[in-house]
Structure 1
């Protein structure tokens, strides 16, 4: 009789079948493990960089750390991918993410002055968005999200232009549109970059370190946008109370 009982919605929601990726080839699954392992190292390195800022104040030298990040990413891009250079390139990637974490220092200082708990909330939000969109991309058996590339690059160009022009206009409305646009755009980039990594591996590209850079930048931009949005909302609440 039990076999004829309807399955509950909870059992369907948490079914292990949801997390099966049988449609992905074995070599693609192995490659994804390498990508996310490398990404985890980068996230840890960025966290250490942000932590180091509070003891060294290096984040105040934002221009220099930004230049250092650009130099490292250029070095990584020009270093040939091979088994012999994997350790070297991983070291460059780790240094890049460390400097990226330091560059977050000034923003983290500002957020802590408003409300320290915002950092943990933004981290949790970033994890939820990143994991959800990653699963959506991996479980999609078609290459649907690959067609968003042109739209996403166009959107990035317009948002960059908007952010630059707002330096001169100083409009709150434009800034709000810009920061929410960044959040939405880089959330969509997680979908696109994840499927692009799968497609690249199918075509023979196994450079997991360079592909981790794309996902790292997506996650950092989502985290940064959430920090600003949450801090702005909390600051507005405090002003209303006063």
Structure 2
């Protein structure tokens, strides 16, 4: 936060100080190398996820089986020793492809209704992910790790809301609460997981596959919620336009 405070102070004085926003001196060169591997692996996982979405659009494969395949691949990754890097990376890409196929129906719906919503949701997710990841890197070490407990409690509340909507019937208000509250939680997880990843790397944990998996999960969770929120808003606007035309 000190870096951002200094940055905005410099802005108020009318001078641009890019060096403040690019100051990662508190992160050692070894950890910086680890972060590069993590984010490169994350990009590969996102590409694999896009392939999974494409396969669903072609053959309609998304469903229970792809969900099981996703969780199975994740469990396999965690059970595989770290020295088997190629195998773990292949499993991560497989898990990402299964995940892409699983969320394929939502993306296909967005393509059929308004493709622009899909592009806007992805760009918005990428911008939010980049901003919050950068904030976590620029902040003091361990500054946001205390949020982990609050986020875990919030996740328990979110699960209770989902169970309540499943057993007692969902409403529009409850759906919106779930979407926005879940979006807030996973945005928080981006910050916490980034700082935790950096802290673990400082203590010798260089498992870039597992760290990329955590960030990929956060990215997809934020993307799906932003997409659903924007898609629902677009559908509501279309309904209002149709009513005005009919009137």
**TM superposition score normalised by structure 2:** 0.90
Off by >2 Å, runs of 4+ in structure 1:
7-14
Post-superposition Cα deviations, 1:99-155, rounded to whole Å, max 9, x if no partner, equal 101111111122223211110000000011000000000000231110111111111
Distance 1:44 1:154 in 2: 32
Q: Where do 1:8-27 residues align within 5 Å?
A: 12-13=15-16, 15-27=18-30
Distance 1:191 1:8 in 2: 24
Distance 1:8 1:164, change over 3 A: closer
Q: Where do 1:82-161 residues align within 5 Å?
A: 82=83, 85-161=84-160
Q: What is the RMSD of the two structures over their aligned residues, measured on CA atoms?
A: 1.6
Determine the structure 2 residue equivalent to 1:215.
215
Q: Where do 1:192-231 residues align within 5 Å?
A: 192-231=192-231
SS of the residue corresponding to residue 58 of structure 1 reads coil
Determine the structure 2 residue equivalent to 1:72.
73
Distance 1:38 1:10 in 2: 40
Q: Return 5+ residue gaps in structure 2 as ranges.
A: 1-9, 243-247
Judge conservation of contact 2:141–2:199 (CA < 8 Å) in 1: no
Distance 1:143 1:236, change over 3 A: same
**TM superposition score normalised by structure 1:** 0.92
SS of the residue corresponding to residue 144 of structure 2 reads helix
Distance 2:19 2:28 in 1: 19
Determine the structure 2 residue equivalent to 1:3.
none
Q: Return 5+ residue gaps in structure 1 as ranges.
A: 1-6
Post-superposition Cα deviations, 1:60-112, rounded to whole Å, max 9, x if no partner, equal xx100000111111100101111xx0001000000000110111111112222
Determine the structure 1 residue equivalent to 2:176.
176
- 1:50 aligns with one of 43, 50, 53: 53
Determine the structure 2 residue equivalent to 1:40.
43
